[in-house]
Amino acid sequence: MKKHDRLTATGLVVLMLVLWLGFLVHRSPRFAGSLWGGMLGISGAALMLVPLAYMVVKRIGPLKRLVTRRIAMRTLLTWHIYAGILGPILALLHTGHKFVSPLGIALTALMLLVVLSGFLGRYLLSQFSDQIRTKKEMLTQLEIAYQQTAGELSAQPQQIAMLSPLTGLLSRLGARLAWAHGNVAELPVSARALRISESMADLEYAIKTHETFKRLFGHWLRFHIVISLILYGLLALHIWAGIYFGLRWLS
């Protein structure tokens, strides 16, 4: 997600939560069945089908190739995100904050859970990806600096001997404190080599940690898909009940 899209999506999620909490101060039992309430419900349901279409296109190879000839997957993902938030917002307005039936309560709760899981999962995954990419770029720069420093160090054997007293943990910590406020370029070659190698080790550990979290969040996608499918099942049942009992009432 780009920064602009992320801020917009965050604002919409906050709006959705505020609208949901509106039941504390407002309830309109008849609004859901009114003309405007019905229009909001239909519009919200239609928008909530866009993420389903995205999942289908993404996972069916021939269909994906056909669609992406005209529309990029990144554009489809943006539609997926916005429609996946705007649909529940309209659905919450449709309810009139009347949460009485078990089906309506379950549908509303699952709808909020799907949006939050999708938003947080997408945001955290993008953060992990950005952090990994940035740290790998920094590691590449440090590797180049280390190669240059190693070349200088090989030309000064007396500097290599200075590294021997710094092999212990306490000695390295003491040296790090002593050099903490110094410019790296002004440090002795041996000190510079030690500083760079420790920075490389820290970055490698951070990259492995972020990659581990990224793999763990790969399970989030399965969870998000499963609860989304359950949501569509409840939505279909809700629409059927509205049509069935509505037509019975008219007759």
pLDDT(178) > 60: no
pLDDT(195) > 80: no
**What's the rounded Cα separation, in Å, for the pair 31 and 19?**
15
Comparing 16-20, 97-101, 153-157, 243-247, the range with the smallest average pLDDT is 153-157
Going from N- to C-terminal start, the domains of the chain cover 3-127+220-250, 133-211
Tally the C-alpha atoms within 13 A of residue 196's C-alpha that lie toward its C-beta: 24
**What's the rounded Cα separation, in Å, for the pair 129 and 143?**
21
Angle at 217 between CA 119 and CA 4, to 5 degrees: 35
Dihedral in degrees, nearest 10, Cα atoms 124, 126, 129, 132: -60
pLDDT(156) > 50: yes
From 225, 202, 234, 242, select the one nearest 122 (Cα to Cα).
225
At a CB cut-off of 8 Å and minimum separation 6, what does 135 contact?
203, 206, 207, 210
Contact 89, 12 (CB under 8 A): yes
Max mean pLDDT among 14-18, 96-100, 216-220 falls in 14-18
What is the average per-residue pLDDT within 140-150?
A: 82
Dihedral in degrees, nearest 10, Cα atoms 106, 111, 112, 114: 120
What is the average per-residue pLDDT within 118-140?
A: 83
Q: What is the pLDDT of residue 104?
A: 85
- More confidently predicted of 166 and 216: 216
